[in-house]
Amino acid sequence: MTALLEVEDLRVAYGKIEAVKGISFTVEAGQVVTLIGTNGAGKTTTLRTLSGLLQPLGGSIRFDGKPLNGIPAHKIVALGLAHSPEGRHIFPRLTIAENLQLGAFLRKDAAGIAQDIQKAYDLFPILGERRAQAAGTLSGGEQQMLAMGRALMSRPKLLMLDEPSMGLSPIMMQKIMQTIAELKAQGTTILLVEQNAQAALSLADQGHVMEIGNIVLSGTGAELLHDESVRKAYLGED
């Protein structure tokens, strides 16, 4: 069976600096796959390349059987790959409802869009309660919920989440991780970049450890959680 996402020998550079140095991995439909590693490992660069925001130096990306190399970002969204970026990037002056509607900008099915906005409110009740509020007045955790809800509005086959817990309180981080677990239970395929390795690996079917542009270790989430080198480097254990 062909994987939903196939990344082979991907290389990405910023000028003369190679940030991703020939990585390969796959994501099967229905899986949660996580990339973990320290800042500067190349995780965000990988996601930005998959979503068409950066062009690769070499290697290939295939999504749902189609090559993505050279395809512009808006067409990649239309193929079913959505990206909730690091730093959230919501539209602060627009309302919550307007932000969600923008997530469906490629769609024409008004009834389906309304249904999916309601699904976002069901997933994140606080957004429903404040739907007419300007998004910029939300807390960091609420903005993260909105960014995830907006990404889901395109009905993606694969949802990419970049550092969803960054800068959040422990309680809000727990809520976000519970939501990712809920999406997984619903069958959503997720590629997760997350600095909280414990939380990410606990959710993941497969995990890959990145260091300075390379994948240095791969395994199931459970295998990596119990790997001594991972525990020392990323889980703060001696």
In this prediction the pTM is 0.91
Q: Which two tokens stand for residue 135?
A: 């998004």
User: What are the pLDDT digits (tens) for 150-203?
Assistant: 999 999 999 999 998 888 888 888 888 998 999 999 999 999 999 889 999 999
DSSP per-residue letters across the chain: ---SEEEEEEEEEETTEEEEEEEEEEE-TT-EEEEE--TTSSHHHHHHHHTTSS--SEEEEEETTEE-TT--HHHHHHHTEEEE-TT----TTSBHHHHHHHTTTT---HHHHHHHHHHHHHHSHHHHHTTTSBGGGS-HHHHHHHHHHHHHTT--SEEEEESTTTT--HHHHHHHHHHHHHHHHTT-EEEEE-S-HHHHHHH-SEEEEEETTEEEEEEEHHHHHT-HHHHHHHS---
| CA dihedral (159, 165, 167, 168) positive or negative | positive
- Per-residue model confidence (pLDDT) at position 2: 75
- Per-residue model confidence (pLDDT) at position 238: 56
- Which ranges of the chain have pLDDT less than 50? none
Instruction: For residue 5, give the nearest of 148, 133, 192 by alpha carbon.
Output: 192
- Per-residue model confidence (pLDDT) at position 118: 96
Which domains are delineated in the chain?
A: 5-91+159-234 (3.40.50.300)
Place of tokens 């001696």: 238
- Per-residue model confidence (pLDDT) at position 173: 87
Q: Residues 99, 148: contact at Cβ < 8 Å? A: no
